[in-house]
Structure 1
Amino acid sequence: MSGVVTTAAAGLAGASGWTQLGVCAAGIGAGMINTVVGSGTLITFPVLLAAGLPPITANVSNTLGLVPGSISGAIGYRRELAGQGGLLRRLGSAALLGGLTGATLLVELPAGAFTAAVPVLIAAALVLVLVQPLLAKRLAARQSDKPRPEYGGRALLVGVFLCGIYGGYFGAAQGVLLLGLMGLLLDKGLQEINAVKNVLALLINGIAAVFFLFSAPIDWRAVLLVAVGSVIGGQLGALVGRRLPPPVLRGVIVAVGLVAIGRVVIG
């Protein structure tokens, strides 16, 4: 996929009002879920595919659209970020480098490679969403008598970099990965870790979005609709998202993820 292409042919500009409203609603759901856990792409990406966007255009437009929602969610968790500047600076550099690497891979590899990988990536993300409760339970019950390196040590730095590559390339459930890594390697509460996760996801999506501006096909109507929805969802997630029944959220995510797999495989 070489050359600079900054707009997608046709796309959502000619879609019906109901289709565009559905994309915006998906953005609200994704913004909320990303703030609370992190798998919102499994809501917006299938909806953009169903709206008729090609896989790469849908992925790139979705990444750009979710950036404002990530900002919204990070602001909503600003109290939990107090005193975590050192950790954010250390892990943020790894997140930025990983996100840029993943975005570069998406653009430089053949378009068919991404299309072929999408069902596998979504299936892997769905597995992560399903096992997340078990992971959270194990993290909560972990032994705390063994001191952990400050800022999680080299293992966390490498882990965040690898998560960044995944996030820059596709990104579904990257928040679940980040939560698991930091929960295992940091001596911090879950809400503090979630606040850091929101900032790291913002950095990964943000650097990928900047790269895509100059190198990938973008549907700007999709970006706008997802952005508006994700900003609203980010605030809802910070305010009330923790109170929503987790099984309901996971059920919705799994359902739309399976639809997305069918959409890509069947065509």
Structure 2
Amino acid sequence: MNRTVDPVSTPPEAVPVREAATVALVRDARVGGGLEVFLQHRVATMQFAAGMSVFPGGGVEPRDYRGTRPWRGPEPRWWAEAFTIGEERAAAAVRGVARELFEETGVLLAEPAPAPDPAATGAARPVDPPGLAERRALDAGEGDLDSLLAAHGLILSAHLLRPWDRWTTPLGPRRRYDTLFFVAAVPEGAEPDGGTSEARAVGWMRADDAATAGTLGRLGMLRPTLDVLADLATAADVAELLDTSRTIAPGGH
């Protein structure tokens, strides 16, 4: 999946399609109803979607497949059925998108792990959230999300995510991705930041304003980003969005 190819001599149909996952982080708009969405405006040196406005996310990596730690939320089979993929890939994508979100924005979708014995009367271990050094190490490819959460007595809050869409890069580009799109409400008290070298700027925008800016060319966007934004712009608030039932076409777009 990660083998390199010669873009000059390799025919378009032979370019490998890599697994990826991305998440539209949303919150209720401060004024006027609707949603705000967190966007990253990528640096011009990126190998894919250079200079574009995107949601946090990236490639699903082998380390995301190694996780075995239970999480709170639907089991892998549920995610697999939603995206029409295998259970192993579904579990890896959930871990991968949460890992990428933490690496790129500092927002960690996690909560204290339940006590192993509900009848235990001892004092609960205080939760020590991962720090910046651990975030940077994870971003550099050191360790994996499950190990990080276990070290801090946390579990993944997969119930905060929702499956939303699936897109595959068409023939032509030198890099192609089969990308699973998620949405998630920003956890209470969390604030995403711009602490990633992949973005020149980050920030919250109203979903309808972002969709309009993308349509008019004021912001550079790939079609999947623009289509997801157009969907998000129709929601009255986060609660309505998260209650929306989605049917994702097998194989995506």
TM-score, scaled to structure 1: 0.27
Tell me: higher relative CO, structure 1 or 2? Use CA pairs within 8 A at least 6 residues apart: 1
Q: Where is the helix percentage greater, Structure 1 or Structure 2? A: 1
Structure with the greater alpha carbon radius of gyration? 2
Q: Where is the strand percentage greater, Structure 1 or Structure 2? A: 2
